[in-house]
Amino acid sequence: MKTFSLLSLVFAVSASFATQAAQHNEQHRVGAQLFGGDASYKSSSKDGDGVTHVYFYYNYQYDSTWALEAAYNTGMEADDWECKDDSDDKFTCTRNDKALFELGANELDYDNFVLAVKGQYQLSDSNYLYAKLGAHYYDYEIGYKGKTMVEEDGVSFLTEAGWQYDWDNGMSLNASIQYMDMGDLDTTNFGLGVSYRF
């Protein structure tokens, strides 16, 4: 029921915005964001449960405030690396492969297909605050040395809030915080991104 309600909300809101569509010269935006942060599985998290993901997206700008976004996201666990300066100016780096989610796992992979509504508020000619609310299909695996321990998929929601700076040449830079619900797995990440509008 939750899944149906979220999808219905996204489609209803985007359909209502379509009737207000304004004709602008730059209605399209493509971009990518790199995120890093923390994950929890069944509300259990501990040191070592870091994640990173890359978020690729397309926006269709209906008017100066609202846009519809379609996106693909792919992520994985983020391990710490410890590097030591050995003799003769050589560095030795080792991976701190800590267990994930108190499961004894050391691998996490996830993919998401997103449909979201984005609203923005103009602070100045080039500065904007924005927020996104969307539904996404997720698919993730938690494992140990290539052996799958947990595998889940489904539909849930994500939210994001951030700041964006637009240059006159179409390039943009943004910084944001994103929360992604994937059933028993949740991620909270900070990200930086670039985009191009045309």
Q: How many domains does the chain have?
A: 1
- Give 26-64 pLDDT, tens digit per residue: 899 999 999 999 999 988 766 568 899 999 999 999 999
Q: Average pLDDT for residues 69-77, to the nearest whole number?
A: 97
CB-count burial class (<10 Å; 0-12, 13-18, 19+) for 164: buried
For residue 131, give Cα distances in angstroms to 128, 158, 174. Answer: 10, 11, 12
What percentage of the chain has pLDDT greater than the value 90? 66
Following DSSP, what letter does each residue of 64-97 receive, concatenated? SSEEEEEEEEEEEE--EEEEEE-GGG-EEEEEE-
> Would you give the end-to-end CA distance of the chain in angstroms?
38
More reliable by pLDDT, 19 or 156: 156
**Which among 68, 2, 54, 63 has a CA at the least distance from the CA of 178?**
54
Task: Taking the CA atoms of 193, 124, 197 and 63 in sequence, report the sign of the dihedral they define.
Answer: positive
Q: Which region among 14-18, 108-112, 115-119, 133-137 has the lowest average model confidence (pLDDT)?
A: 14-18
- Euclidean distance between CA atoms 18 and 68, whole angstroms: 9
Q: Any idea what DSSP says for residue 9?
A: H
- Euclidean distance between CA atoms 10 and 84, whole angstroms: 50
What torsion, rounded to 10 degrees, do the Cα atoms 31, 37, 41, 47 define?
A: 160
pLDDT at 26: 84
CATH of the domain at 96: 2.40.160.20
Which residues constitute the domain of residue 10? 2-197
- Euclidean distance between CA atoms 46 and 85, whole angstroms: 29
pLDDT at 23: 35
**In the predicted model, is pLDDT for residue 17 greater than 50?**
no
